[in-house]
Structure 1
Amino acid sequence: MDSGLGYLAVVLAVVLFSMTFHEAMHAFASNWLGDDTARQEGRLTLNPIAHIDPLATVLLPLLLAALGAPPFGAAKPVPFNPSRVRYGEFGAALVGLAGPVTNLVLAFLGFVVLALSGFVSNWFGGLLQVFILVNLAFFVFNMIPLPPLDGSRLLYAIAPDNIRQIMVTMEQYGIYLILIIVLLFNAQLGQFMQSAIGSILNLFKVVVGV
């Protein structure tokens, strides 16, 4: 698929779909584990309007796609109270993992369809390739153990109290911290993303047998 307006439109559609499922699964996981904060605030839904952040969900992935980089981004964080979920910090880690793992599963399903369909050279194949790339980019980026990204929930579960306090302070700056990191370390982040996505795709090939 080319890198023109058509490609950007496909990226935006895939981002909205994938990020909606990502955030909704955070909400479903927290609700299932006993915290109804997300449900009370209207986030237990597949309506993308409830989850979109104009900068991180729309502008950031479109800008990265236009530059030829893996189009990753974020959305409005799903609110939940770690002290109300079952299993303490490990329950909170499950809530954090629910979003990126959803993206990983979506990418794998897209890869299976692409591998079995034979439609690699037409528009459907191009759409599937974008779908796989976007979901893997969301998975890799959000698994970075840096607040407020989802991977930080795993670090919360095992980190000592003094490290947790630093992480809580970092999390207060939320989406702005993410944007600053992307701007300052764009080249290094892009190389890391490309390498990680390539490794996961190789694993997919082994699993599917292609």
Structure 2
Amino acid sequence: MDTLNLLQKISVYALPILLAITVHEAAHAYAAKRFGDPTAYVLGRMTLNPLKHIDPFGTILLPLLCLSVGGFIFGWAKPVPVNFGALKNPRFGGLWVAAAGPGANLAMALIWTLLFKLALAMANGYSEPLALMSQAGMTINVMLMALNLLPILPLDGGRILESLLPRPLAWQYSRLEPYGMWVLIGLMVLGQFGGVNVLSLLLSPLVRLMYGLLNMML
């Protein structure tokens, strides 16, 4: 994809990015309702309508900037509101609410892999565009899944870890949440300007595992 110009990259990545972020958030909303908290459902966030989830900067401008400079594609949607205290079992339910987003990205990565396999089997004018879009979908969902599973609050991996820790440790760990996004931004900045891409090093084991799984399907 390095040979594509910016407009071509946007046409290839737009749908996969939109789906990856939208389905991720809708999955959180569905899991929250399933385990007892209807907040997101009442607010209309349990939907695949991307307009309900788009954050103008995180969903549109930041991914565009990443595409234009050729760096790590990063973005987010409006977080789904979850009242963890309203869950039937806050710790157990909270774990599954957090896991639903990365799980949705795993499912989408598998679907894009099947579409890539279909593109390879086709012999018409749609083969190359579908193959490029499928590769983009695989990459975006693998990276979004791996990134969200980092054990840093407020990321999903942090929520999962908080749910698994003994209550006293979970409470101490939860106090780190205000600093979590700054830690993540710091890791990204180190990767861009520090010479050592710490974030890539942290993500690479799970990313390699995921690509190994997807390659088994091809």
Q: What TM-score do you get using the length of structure 1 for normalisation?
A: 0.85
Against the structure 1 CA distance between its residues 9 and 195, is the aligned structure 2 distance closer, same or farther, given a 3 Å change threshold?
farther
Kindly report which structure 2 residues correspond to 1:1-210, keeping only aligned pairs within 5 A, or say none. Answer: 1=1, 2-5=3-6, 6-118=8-120, 122-172=128-178, 178-186=184-192, 187-194=197-204, 196-206=206-216, 208=217, 210=218
- Which moves more between the two structures, 182-191 or 196-205? 182-191
Structure 1 position 109, deviation (Å)? 1.3
Q: Give the counterpart letter for 2:145 in structure 1.
A: F
1:18/1:135 contact within 8 Å kept = yes
Q: How many residues align?
A: 208
Against the structure 1 CA distance between its residues 124 and 4, is the aligned structure 2 distance closer, same or farther, given a 3 Å change threshold?
same
Q: Give the counterpart letter for 2:74 in structure 1.
A: F
1:12/1:62 contact within 8 Å kept = no
Structure 1 position 13, deviation (Å)? 2.9
2:115/2:131 contact within 8 Å kept = no
> How far does the alpha carbon of each residue in 1:20-44 deviate from its partner, in whole angstroms, 9 at most, with x for none?
1110110011011110111222312
Q: Give the counterpart letter for 1:11 in structure 2.
A: Y
Percent same amino acid among aligned pairs? 33
- Which moves more between the two structures, 131-140 or 9-18? 9-18
> Max radius of gyration: which structure?
2
Q: What TM-score do you get using the length of structure 2 for normalisation?
A: 0.82
How far apart are the structure 2 equivalents of 1:88 and 1:146?
A: 19
List 4+ stretches of structure 1 deviating above 6 A.
Answer: none
Against the structure 1 CA distance between its residues 182 and 204, is the aligned structure 2 distance closer, same or farther, given a 3 Å change threshold?
same
1:11/1:62 contact within 8 Å kept = no
Root-mean-square deviation over aligned CA pairs: 2.5
Q: Give the counterpart letter for 1:154 in structure 2.
A: I
Gap regions ≥5 residues in structure 2: none
